[in-house]
Structure 1
């Protein structure tokens, strides 16, 4: 919410400079000066020299997901990338060939697939509902886990003819995957290896000031959001991308403000390049539902990895108990390799270590070998190839 307040202030600053009627002209100018901010994943991949396919995957509850693929060698195993909260498949390629694990695996012949969770800019379709319908947005990462992930996995395996795949999952991508493997354990046998990057499961030792502030004031925030009412949060928009460009371009005071917002939310980093702040902002504006955030807030408040809490009365009707049931992490029998950052204030190393003692088949729990590596660094750190990607590629060869 602190991030949202800061972005709102920046938007108002841009409105003051250009005026509401000048926004369209400002966007056109920004597109000419910084076209990379407005590129969608297929266009970006083409620019980088890769052939990307777009596939449509329908879930059992009617959502239509956009899935991106960079085809590999036919006999090579497929690998599914699943993004974090507020991002999309772009996050795996947006920082170019030198940093993108997806590109690097494609260069080595892997069949690369990049999923998109319901509600983001590539997955806003449904067989019967429209995004303007409030009911469309009544989902969290629970539904992403029990519907989006299996639909995407089955589509990939059917299309490629393989029986197993690799998964590289970041932040909320882990939450989705762990829900799937705990509630539909038959999918464990379809996993060669799960690469867990900063898994968002436990938050007992979270030190992120902005996250803790949201949790502390959630009842007030929720009442405000309900009064609007709000269903979709931080959707992709050209206006926001233009804002990032104008306000972060050669404005040291605004750059410092944006940097502080990121560090306050995700932890300190030594890998942040201020010239990339507009690209980072655009990457974090993929769109998601209010319920998705609400479910994470509940995890932090309860200290449990549990299903959505509807309140005691509805919980009794839905679950047969006053409290929502916990996900049984002992059901995750697929091999899991965890990676975490020393300065990640959102997902603490202590919580990762605790998680590693619960899962039955953790093959590795590795801290990225540098003192400052925060939550966002898993997709943007300038030295990510040597610090993380090379290690992952060697691990994949074993499976």
Structure 2
């Protein structure tokens, strides 16, 4: 939830600066002119960088329509699925291409690269019977993303490519989704050649970032507020918001420094992100999410348990047959899992990472990225990510 907190604060700051909730169209046009990379969509980013990209549409078992972005390899190329973190989108894997994007690097090494998206983000706002304006559309969390979105994406990729297994790279929530799917639907373990989790934990007992403040929020009051407003969407993609972020964080040296400091406090210290990268980092956290998704992480922080969504005693009894939500059984995750984490990651602590690793039955590697300062977002944006992390991952995949 930290990404959500950071972006929300930046947006509030921007609103105060302009004194209005929606910026003037001329301001948006000006931001487009000075920072076109902030407004690009994944296919445009790939084209700019000289890579081919296809868009594929996938239907989940519960009728959400997902968009997958593919950088196609040869027919024999092993498929690899990338799954983004909370509030983000497929763009996060290629937006910082000057760092030698891991997605691009794997494609150049002969892989068939697929970039996943999840229900509710800017690429996945379609459903067979519901519209985003319907409150029911947003009543999901990362539980449904793992159970249905990830399962449907895997099946589609394997059916399309003719392969029996794929590699999986999950950042933050992307790793949580894998733990959900593989524990709840263990037949998918055989479809995973190797799971690579980047700063992905199932527990939040030792979270130290701004997201810990969310633990004091009462779900009943929060939901009552959402019911009154009639909206369960948080951080919807908006060009006016992007323009605000650019002019607040990207228009002067002092603004750069202030916003970079906020990100440092939220995600941990980093020596691999320049001030000018901060607006783009913020945009990568503006894919749009459900309030239930954010709250499910708050629940993890509050309880210290990796369990299904807590709807309250009565609804839990109806759904689960018990007054408490059941915990996910991580011992059912039998696919090989490689775990990478950072020294200064304020969003996923070393203690929580190692707690997961001690339960998983088939951990192939637990690796702390060898940099003094490496935070939660550095896995996608650090200037030296290639030499610190990506080259190692490429070599690891070749062993499988």
Q: TM-score, normalised by structure 1?
A: 0.96
Distance, in Å, in 2 between the alignment partners of 1:370 and 1:222 is 41
Q: Which moved more, 1:340-349 or 1:1-10?
A: 1-10
2:9 aligned residue: 6
Displacement after TM superposition at 1:354 (Å): 1.3
> Are 2:214 and 1:214 equivalent residues in the alignment?
yes
1:121-136 correspondence to structure 2 within 5 Å:
121-136=122-137
3-state DSSP of counterpart to 1:351: helix
Alignment of 1:251-266 (within 5 A): 251-266=252-267
Matches within 5 A, 1:1-399: 2-16=5-19, 23-208=24-209, 210-219=210-219, 221-399=222-400
Q: 1:222 to 1:200 in 2, by over 3 A?
A: farther
Are the aligned partners of 1:166 and 1:193 in contact in 2 as well (CA < 8 Å)? yes
* TM-score (normalizing by structure 2): 0.95
Q: 161-170 or 274-283: which moved more?
A: 274-283
**What do the CA deviations read for 1:87-140 (whole angstroms, capped 9, x no partner)?**
000000000153310000111110000010100001110001000000000000
Query: How far apart are the structure 2 equivalents of 1:379 and 1:81?
Result: 11
Aligned residues: 396
The CA deviation string for residues 190-213 of structure 1, in whole angstroms up to 9 with x for no partner, is: 0110001011311111111x1111
Q: Secondary structure at the match of 1:168?
A: strand
Q: 1:5 to 1:112 in 2, by over 3 A?
A: closer
Paired residues of 1:27 and 1:238 also in contact (CA < 8 A): yes
Mapped partners of 1:32, 1:96: distance in 2 = 20
Bigger mean CA deviation after superposition, 122-131 or 216-225: 216-225
Q: Contact (CA 8 Å) 1:68, 1:89: kept in 2 or not?
A: yes
Query: Partners of 2:23 and 2:288 in 1: how far apart?
Result: 25
What runs of 5+ residues in structure 1 fail to find an aligned partner? none
Q: CA deviation at 1:225?
A: 4.1
Q: 1:229 to 1:261 in 2, by over 3 A?
A: farther
State the superposition RMSD in angstroms: 1.6
Distance of 1:83 and 1:9 partners within structure 2: 25
Unaligned runs of 5+ in 2: none
